[in-house]
Amino acid sequence: MPGISHKGISMPESPIRKLVPYSNGAKASGKKVYHLNIGQPDIETPEVALRAVQNFHAQVIEYSPSAGFTSYREGLAEFYKKNEIHLEPEEIMVTCGGSEAISFALNSICDAGDEIIIPEPFYANYNGFTTAAGVNVVPVTSDIDNGFALPPIASFEKQITNHTKAIIICNPGNPTGKLYTIEELEALRDLVLKHDLYLIADEVYREFIYEGTHHSILNLDGLEQNAIVIDSVSKRYSMCGVRIGALISRNSDLMETALKFAQARLSPPTFGQVAGEAALNTPQSYFDEVKAKYVRRRDVLVDGLNTIPGVKCPKPQGAFYCVAELPIDDADVFAQWILESFDYNGQTVMVAPGSGFYATEGLGKSEVRIAYVLQVEDLKNAVEVLRRALDAYPGNTLK
């Protein structure tokens, strides 16, 4: 029988995949499962985007240009301009989700064996994109006790080798909710300029800022040739399924290289682009309402979690995730136990164990990632379930 590649074998599984049978088992036994593990918002997609697809009356659904429809790229340039980011349409490439934008960026700047530095905990799928590209992740650990602030620049610099090509940040962060300050970003800028690296910023949650101001790395002076931004319509307009993202850079060599990868896969999805272009006309009131909703959810969740004995959860400034430290020593075991062996009034929760968000072996074992994409009442119930579960859990380290 023919074999599987080392690359394929080393591709990470989703951090929650192992739990899915237990979640299904819990549901089969009649329990209600609150899904705190997923990043699929329940917010409605803007009407204007849905209607544009329903009213799209082409008779042939043709390939679009490989870099996306020109009208959409022009529209995106206008959108960023309104957000004080000045871009030409040629500096924006439409991709199949933010995922594809990251893959294009990695393949354009890295060969097999090259290295990318990422502050951990980080979005688990970065492991997948780097593995697929044959690139090694070098983590720099951030600390829950200072709200996952950017680790000291010296700890990044220590990791830079001849193989280092870039630093990746997610701002605001999935899974931490951390919003980097301008000082943190400028320190990263100075570092990448000093060592001639790229700075890749995943800014897909930029509309979800609850405290402070979002600073795009595209606005950092002097970083024009080094800055690569990953964007996506998935969370902004709650339409994860349309699979539309963007790769943004003012570095024309990079964009020309990425275009060759884009040409090989022909084009991004047409219907998704129709939705994305129409969504540019989403009224500000939509975002205001969504933001108010998330602030309330965050407060209910995080304030609630912090009242549970032994739980520590810094308040996120953006996105819709938080990382909580629990009084447990193996979140994988706990996450399985709570689904399999626990319920409170017929309810239980599914959480994402923290270790999947760390590259350093052994870290994150007492942490979980919780997404606050549920209704406030459900979040209140979920916090109560967690409180009772930790109280009942034989492995509670406070005991």
Q: What is the DSSP letter of 93?
A: E
Task: Give the footprint of its own copies on residues 231-270 (CB under 8 A).
Answer: 238-243, 251, 253-254, 257-258, 260-261, 263-270
Task: Give the footprint of its own copies on residues 154-193 (CB under 8 A).
Answer: 165-166, 192
61, 63, 62, 65: which is closest to 90 by C-alpha?
A: 65
Minimum Å distance from CB 112 to its own copies?
A: 4
Minimum Å distance from CB 274 to its own copies?
A: 9
241, 160, 172, 250: which is closest to 209 by C-alpha?
A: 172
Task: Give 133 or 335: the residue with its C-beta nearer to its own copies.
Answer: 133
Measure the CA–CA gap between 20 and 36, rounded to whole angstroms: 13
165, 184, 149: which is closest to 226 by C-alpha?
A: 165
Task: Give 194 or 399: the residue with its C-beta nearer to its own copies.
Answer: 194
Task: Give the footprint of its own copies on residues 62-91 (CB under 8 A).
Answer: 62-64
The stretch near its own copies (CB under 8 A) out of 36-44, 308-316, 320-328, 343-351 is: 36-44
Minimum Å distance from CB 18 to its own copies?
A: 12
287 binds its own copies (CB under 8 A): no
Which tokens go with 172? Answer: 């605001």
Given the DSSP bridges, would you call strands 115-120 and 136-141 parallel, antiparallel or unpaired? parallel
Task: Give the footprint of its own copies on residues 354-373 (CB under 8 A).
Answer: none
Per the omega criterion (within 30 degrees of 0), is the bond before 139 cis? Answer: no
Given the DSSP bridges, would you call strands 92-95 and 245-249 parallel, antiparallel or unpaired? antiparallel
In the set 84, 196, 303, 391, which binds its own copies (CB under 8 A)? 196
Which tokens go with 294? Answer: 């998330």
Task: Give 259 or 349: the residue with its C-beta nearer to its own copies.
Answer: 259
2 binds its own copies (CB under 8 A): yes
197 binds its own copies (CB under 8 A): yes
Task: Give 54 or 213: the residue with its C-beta nearer to its own copies.
Answer: 54
Q: Which residues pair with 248 in a beta bridge?
A: 92, 229
172, 142, 184: which is closest to 317 by C-alpha?
A: 172
